[in-house]
Amino acid sequence: MKPSEIRQILAERGIRLSRGMGQNFLHDPHQLDRIVSAAELTPDSRVLEIGPGLGPLTRRLLAAAGTVRAVEKDAELAAYLRETLVETPGFELVEADARKEVCGEGKDWTDWVMVSNLPYSVASPLLVDLVLSLQGPRRMVVTVQHEVACRLTAEPGTRDYGILTLLVQLRYQARLLFSISHTCFWPPPDVQSACVRMDRREVEPLPPALAPVYVRLVKIAFSQRRKMMRKLLKAGWPETAIDRAYETAGLDRDVRAERVGREQFIAMTQVLAEGRKPAA
């Protein structure tokens, strides 16, 4: 689908795109093919797509997979998809807010693959919702802002390493696959994008009951990046518990959160879960 075709469809149907919703349509056929290839789909695959827009990625997914469930919030775009794809075998359209539809209670995506050019406005919170769920997709291949991609895949000690990194990487292994120029979208966004692949870890790194403790630990630890993590953690746990956690994780007393790896945060979580600070 060329930019001229996109403009024509939008003009004919009187559809006005919203910057607030992050509506930038990826149209470059080479990049679309690379995304589908990265997902490693089979005719039996069940695919979840968020924000299909006019459907250029959707059509490629339908050619590679058995089922594609597309979730589109924009009523006018959903109407276009119904008219053009409703009779395509395997296509399912859900007109709804993605975070409510995908991350709602009782949603189980464990056997699904998510492949999406994610709307910029919901990318980070949606991914966090999914990765913290026990029923998240087995694999996710997503296009996001390059800045977000760097944060998803960051290593300890780097500028991009932080809360988003650690929440996503708790249950998923993330890789930045390739960058995508803003010229591959219509309308062209002001930022570059990148494709990231996230595979669910085969072994659950923490008992599910401890995940909230891990989340709390990470958020407190990065609440003030320039401060030593130990000082920040005193707001949540007694010093004796913090001492044990540091010893278990092999950390220096003056370490900052950006230097602490995922495995060390997991080790700390297992200790701190036993020693919460009494309520004042």
In order of 156, 224, 228, 241, the CA distances from 163 in angstroms are 11, 11, 16, 22
The values of phi and psi at residue 192, to 5°, are -80, 160
The secondary structure element, H or E, covering residue 69 is: strand 67-72
CA atoms within 13 A on the CB side of 210: 18
Domain assignment present for 279: no
Taking the model in full, what pTM does it have?
Answer: 0.93
Q: Which of 155, 178, 200 is the last residue of a domain?
A: 200
| 132 and 255 fall within a common domain | no
Q: Which letter does DSSP use for residue 266 in this model?
A: H
- Whole-number pLDDT of residue 275: 63
| 136 and 48 fall within a common domain | yes
- Whole-number pLDDT of residue 280: 42
Cβ 143 vs Cβ 26: under 8 Å = yes
Q: Which letter does DSSP use for residue 230 in this model?
A: H
Q: Over its length of 280 residues, how does the chain's per-residue pLDDT go in tens digits? A: 888 999 999 999 988 887 766 688 999 999 999 999 999 999 999 999 999 999 999 999 999 999 999 999 999 999 999 999 989 999 999 999 998 889 877 889 999 999 999 988 889 999 999 999 889 999 999 999 999 999 999 999 999 999 999 999 999 999 999 999 999 999 999 899 999 999 999 999 999 999 999 999 999 999 998 899 999 999 999 999 999 999 999 999 999 999 999 999 999 999 999 866 544 4
Domain assignment present for 38: yes
Domain assignment present for 280: no
| 217 and 172 fall within a common domain | no
Domain that holds residue 125: 3-200
Number of domains in the chain: 2
Amino acid, res. 191: V
Peptide bond preceding 187: is omega within 30 degrees of 0, i.e. cis? Answer: yes
- Whole-number pLDDT of residue 37: 98
| 66 and 194 fall within a common domain | yes
Q: Which of 200, 223, 251 is the last residue of a domain?
A: 200
With 0-12 / 13-18 / 19 or more C-beta atoms within 10 angstroms meaning exposed / middle / buried, residue 127 is: buried
- Whole-number pLDDT of residue 145: 96
- Whole-number pLDDT of residue 120: 87
